[in-house]
Amino acid sequence: MTYALLEGQSAVSVLKYGLMKKVAILANTRIPGVNEAKARIEQTLRRHRLTIEKESGKNTDLLITLGGDGTLLKGVHTLKSDSTLIFGLKFGQVGFLTNPADRLEEKIEKILAGRYRVSRRMLLQARVEREGKLVGEDFCLNEVVLNRSGIRIVEFRVRQGEEDLLRVRADAIILATPTGSTAHALAAGGPVIYPEEQLILLVPVCAYATAARPAVLPATSKLELTVNANCSLAMDGQRECQVTPGDKLLVRQASRQVGLVFEEGGSFFHRLNEKFGWPL
């Protein structure tokens, strides 16, 4: 039996990845073929006498998602433990974070045998404070997007401590993880960042200032954002709340991480080539 050895991991921590006992499945059943695939996966898991849980819990070893990247992101937000790994299978239109859904039984067998790669990814934590009181808090794998709610352009101010980092009129501001650099941030003109790095990407969207460009900040940055008009705050496209003038949006690296499971072989740049035509 082989195990996916990651840099900095001990043999003991790697071994536990090959000893799956409890598995949960999150399926987007609106997509054709997902129900059938889910039944086949459950059959394979039962054959190995694994416990199939209705949802991810504190002791879940693996969460399998069937859908697109949106389904995987939804799965991330259901996790109760950092030790739970996520294996995404692509059935949707977007699947940069997921694996091809062919040879289902074979892929599940390989995971149960420990033949896979684990990619640890940083998360962002965001909280909204209004008059000194917490009104919303969440975390994300891809990005925090602060977007104007009305038709008028918004002035965004980004600070770290007493230092102004950016003050710009724009349609939106994106704060992305390296994982999220290939999502909304990339569409807004941001750079591609290797996903296992520890960085925060700041991307103004349609800024009314030609000098306002994407910036890569240390993961240790503790950012405070304010606005002069009503805005909508979205986390991974999964959670949403309102930010009003006078509110403070506080964004920093989360204390937790998430482990994404990928098949053996392949690489981040091969996925870039497959999805976006990255020249190799």
Q: What is the pLDDT of residues 63-86, one digit of tens each?
A: 999 999 999 999 999 999 999 999
* Strand duo 133-140 + 117-130: pairing: antiparallel
Same domain, 235 and 131: yes
Residue 155 located in a structural domain: yes
Q: Kindly indicate the confidence band of residue 3, based on its pLDDT and cuts at 50, 70 and 90.
A: very low
pLDDT in tens, 223-247: 999 999 999 999 998 888 999 999 9
Same domain, 133 and 99: no
CATH code at position 238 = 2.60.200.30
- CB of 143 closer than 8 Å to CB of 184: yes
**Beta carbons within 10 angstroms of residue 130's beta carbon:** 14
Would you say residue 1 lies in a domain? Answer: no
- Distance, in Å, from the CA atom of 172 to the CA atom of 233, rounded to the nearest integer, reads 10
pLDDT > 90: percent of the chain:
79
Q: How far apart are CA 136 and CA 129, in angstroms?
A: 7
Which of 46, 41, 26, 35 lies closest to 86, judged by CA?
Answer: 26
The letter for the amino acid at 181 is S
Checking if the pLDDT of 9 tops 60, the result is: no
* Residue 89 Cα to chain centre, angstroms: 15
Contact 90, 99 (CB under 8 A): yes
In which domain, by residue range, is 177 found? Answer: 124-255
Position 6 in a domain: no
pTM value is: 0.89
Query: 236 an active-site residue?
Result: no
Alpha-carbon distances, residue 217 vs 88, 221, 240, 266 (angstroms): 29, 7, 24, 28
Report the 10 Å Cβ neighbour count for 76: 25
69, 138, 236, 247: which is the annotated catalytic residue? 69
Q: Tell me: do 177 and 136 sit in the same domain.
A: yes
Q: Are residues 20 and 37 in the same domain?
A: yes
Check whether residue 130 and residue 245 sit in a common domain. Answer: yes
Q: Output the domain CATH number for residue 54.
A: 3.40.50.10330
Average pLDDT over every residue of 256-277: 86
Please state which of the ranges 8-17, 38-47, 92-101, 156-165 shows the lowest mean pLDDT: 8-17
Alpha-helical segments (H) within 3-148 = 11-17, 34-47, 69-76, 104-112
